[in-house]
A = this chain, B = another copy of it.
């Protein structure tokens, strides 16, 4: 597996220090590769919002912040509805079937967070991809990837797994009935609700 992915997992599982600078040499020892691929990974993760600058040259793992979560979910709501709207008429049985298969995988317990994030994106993307809008799709994919940093709360203290799965099912049923406006409205609510729950939780634990 590639370094970038390993670092993301280690960030999610709190295996790397938060706030302190990540040292390329230390990471190159940890993952048994030279500094070059480490450097690549750090630059790339910084560009994707998984790392932030530390001082003039270093990078660090940024804190999770309600403002970031809120922004990510606000953007997801707007852009995914835009994309879903473009896709809707082109979604066929094929896509619904594929989406359902990802849903089934998501039902597994003890799935690593990063896999949950990927599968969740695969579900949504199975519906979006028929729109054939690569640029919009790429941005939306990036937002979903960033939101993964917050998944520990959703599947942990917020216990949002079951509700989210139900909403996914309902979305598919609206699609099968070809009820576009209901599907759109439901998708927006699905995203907004997750965002509000997460944001409020983050605000709360901040003040405590």
Contacts and interface: CB of A to CB of B under 8 A. Distances in A.
Interface of A: 36, 39-40, 43-44, 47-49, 67-68, 71-72, 74-75, 78-79, 82, 132-136, 138-139, 143, 146
B40 A136 contact: no
A136 B78 contact: no
Contacts of A132: 67
A30 B44 CA distance: 25
B135 A67 contact: yes
Contacts of A79: 75, 78-79
A76 to B, nearest CB: 11
Given A44-B47, A78-B78, A78-B82, A135 B72 contact: yes
Nearest to A40: B43
Nearest to A135: B71
Nearest to A142: B139
A131 to B, nearest CB: 10
A135 B82 contact: no
23 contacts: A36-B36, A39-B40, A40-B40, A43-B43, A43-B44, A44-B44, A49-B135, A49-B138, A67-B135, A68-B134, A71-B133, A71-B136, A71-B139, A72-B135, A74-B82, A75-B79, A75-B82, A75-B136, A75-B139, A78-B79, A78-B82, A79-B79, A135-B146
A47 B142 CA distance: 10
A143 B138 CA distance: 12
Given A44-B47, A78-B78, A79-B75, A68 B139 contact: no
